[in-house]
Amino acid sequence: MIDYQYLIDYFEEFPFLVQLVWRISGVLFLAIVLLTIYLKAIRYKLRKKENEHVTFKKEYEALLVEYLYAESEDEQVSTEQQSIILKLKNHLPIKYKRKMIISVLYNLMNEVSGEMAESIKTLYYKTGLIDYALKRLKNKNWYVIAKGIGELRRFKIEEAHGAVIKFIKHPKNEVRKETQLYLVNLFRFEGLSFLDDLETPLSEWAQLQLLEVLQKFDDQQICDIKPWLKSNNNTVVLFALKLAQIYNQFEVKDILIDLLSHKEKEIRICVIEVLTNMYGIEAKEILKTNFNELSIEEQLSFFGLLENLVVPSDEPFIEKHIFHKNFEIQLLALKILKTINIDKFMGLDKLPSNKEVPEMFNLVNNV
Amino acid sequence: MNKHKIVIAEDNSTLSLLLKFRLEKEGYELLMAVDGKEAIELIENGNPDLIITDIMMPFVSGLEVISHVRNKLELEIPIIVFSAAGQEEMVLKAFSLGANDFMGKPFSPNELVIRVKRLLS
C-alpha cells in the first residue's frame, strides 16, 4: 500500500504534460487490450460458425445423395425418402439452415440432368421449400421478392408463373429483371411476350442476359418479332433488332427499311448495322440517296455497310467521299475504293489534293 | 479381385459425393480431390486406373492436371473431362493435351458410369 502511495505521489510530481501523456497511453493500452479480446471473440465465433456450416453442409449433402439413390420402383416416394424429407423439413424453420439446404440442392441441380434433376425438383416441392419461396413474393421488401423470383427460376418452378408475372411492372428494376429472366428461362421465346406492352426501359445489361438465356436452348425457333420492332419503347425496338440479327429474321427486312427513318438516332444506327449483317441491298440504295441528311455516326455505319455490299457501280459515290470532313469516313472510302478499283486508288497518289492525307493513303495502301 | 481405382477432381462437393456414392456402388475405389493440386498428389501416390476431372478448379486447373499426367508423369491412364456450357475451347485444349473423353455439364451420372466402364474394359 505504501509502495502504491509512493508511486501516486511520484506520478503527481510530474509536469502536467507528462501526466497527460501517461494517462493517454494508459487509455490506449486499455483500448488495445479490449479490442484484442473482442477480435478473439469474433474470430472464435466465426470459426464456430464456419465449422457448423461445414457440418450442416456435409449432413445435407449426404441426405440429398441418399435421397436420390433411395428411389423405389414400387412407390413414388420410398419410405427412406419420406424419412429424409421429414428430416429436412424439421430444419427448414431456421433461415440459416434453409438457405444452406437450398444452396446444396441448387449446386447439384445445376450439374446433373434428366431424372436426377427432376428428383431434386421433387424434393424441393416435398420439403415445402417452394412455399417459403412463394411466401417471399408476398414480402413488402423488393429485394426479398427479387430473391424469391430468382429461386423459383433456378428451380424451374413453372407453376409459380401466375404469382411471378404480377411483378413484370414492378417499380423496382431488379424485380422486373428477375421476373423477365424467370419468364425467359422457363418459357423460352414465349416468355418474351412481356415485351408486347413493356413501358419501362430494358437496359443493355438486361438485354444481354435475356439473349444469353435464349441462346442456351436447343430449340431456336423464334416467335414473331415484328410487333416489337414497331414498339413505342425504343429499348424494345433495339432488343428486337438484336434478335433479328442473331436469328437471321430475313422476313422483317421491310420493317427494318422503314426503321431507317426512325426518329431515334440510336435505332437508325443499329438498323444500319443489322442490315449490314443481313445484306440489305435495298437499304444501301436508300441510304446513298439520303446520305447527306444522315448524322456522322449514321454515315459511318453506312460506310461500314458499304464495305460488305459494295459493287463497282458504287464507285462514283465512294470517290465523292474520299475527301470527306470525317477522318474515319475518308479512311473507309479509301479502303473501299482500293477494293473495287485498285488502279484508281493508286492514281490518287498523283493527285495534288492527296498531299493533305499522304499518311492515310500509305496506310490503306499497305493494308 | 482388385478394385479399379478412380481419381475424381471436382470442386463441387455435392457432385463429388454423388459420384463417389454412384461409382462405389459399381465396385470402384474412389480417391477424391477438391482441386487440381490435390488431384496431382493423389495421381502420383495412388496409382489410379482412371481420372475424372473438372476443367475449372481452384489452384490448378483440369487442363494442368491432364498436362501433368501426360507430359510429366508420362502416364497413359484414361482421362474424362467435365466441362460447363461455353467451355468448348477448353474441351478442345483438353483433347489436344491427351484427354480421352468429355462430358458437358449438366450430365447424367448413369451416362458417366457407362463411359467409365467402357474406358476401363
DSSP A292: G
Segments of chain A scoring below 70 in pLDDT: 1-2, 74, 279-280, 349-367
The distance of B73 to chain A (nearest Cα, Å) reads 30
Three-class DSSP category at A295: coil
ipTM rounded to 2 decimals: 0.89
CB atoms within 10 A of CB A237: 23
**Tell me, what amino acid is at B69?**
V
CB-based contact B15 A114, cutoff 8 Å: no
Answer whether residue A193 is part of any domain: no
A356: domain range?
310-367
Pairwise CA distance, residues A270 & B42, whole Å: 55
Instruction: Using DSSP bridges, classify how beta strands B5-9 and B50-54 pair: parallel, antiparallel or unpaired.
Output: parallel
Answer whether residue A332 is part of any domain: yes
Pairwise CA distance, residues A81 & A36, whole Å: 49
The pLDDT confidence band at residue B55, using thresholds 50, 70 and 90, is: very high
CB-based contact B108 A61, cutoff 8 Å: no
Pairwise CA distance, residues A100 & A74, whole Å: 31
- Taking CA atoms, B66 is separated from B11, B83, B121, in Å, by 16, 14, 21
Which of A127, A162, A179 is at the close of a domain? A127
**Partners of B102 in the β-ladder:** B81
Answer whether residue A182 is part of any domain: no
User: What integer pLDDT is reported at residue A354 of this predicted model?
Assistant: 52
Sorted by where each starts, the structural domains of chain B and their CATH numbers stand as: 5-120 (3.40.50.2300)
Answer whether residue A318 is part of any domain: yes
Cβ of residue B114 closer than 8 Å to a chain A Cβ: no
| Contact residues on chain B for A65, CB-CB shorter than 8 A | 14, 17-18, 21
Pairwise CA distance, residues B110 & A114, whole Å: 10
| Contact residues on chain A for B26, CB-CB shorter than 8 A | none
**Nearest residue to A205 (alpha-carbon basis) of A180, A185, A233:** A180
DSSP A239-277: HHHHHHHHTT-GGGHHHHHHHTT-S-HHHHHHHHHHHHH
Number of domains forming the structure of chain A: 2
Residues of A at the B interface, defined by Cβ within 8 angstroms = 57, 61-62, 64-65, 68-69, 104, 107-108, 110-117, 216
Answer whether residue A172 is part of any domain: no
Three-class DSSP category at A107: helix
User: What integer pLDDT is reported at residue A150 of this predicted model?
Assistant: 96
Answer whether residue A161 is part of any domain: no
The answer to whether the beta carbons of residues A244 and A274 sit under 8 Å apart is yes
Residues in chain A, total: 367
Which of A127, A145, A175 is at the close of a domain? A127
Cβ of residue B59 closer than 8 Å to a chain A Cβ: no
Q: Is 70 exceeded by the pLDDT of residue B106? A: yes
Please, what's the b/e burial string for A295-320 (b: 16 or more CB within 10 A of its CB; e: otherwise)?
Answer: eeebbbbbbbbbeeebeeebeeebee
Which grid coordinates belong to A81?
425418402
Answer whether residue A274 is part of any domain: no
Q: Please report which residue ranges of A110-201 form alpha helices under DSSP H.
A: 114-126, 129-136, 142-154, 161-165, 173-187
Which of A66, A101, A127 is at the close of a domain? A127
User: What integer pLDDT is reported at residue B60 of this predicted model?
Assistant: 92
Pairwise CA distance, residues B121 & B114, whole Å: 11
Mean local confidence (pLDDT), B33-58: 94
Pairwise CA distance, residues B30 & B23, whole Å: 8
pTM: 0.78
Answer whether residue A39 is part of any domain: no
SS (H, E, C) A29-42: HHHHHHHHHHHHHH
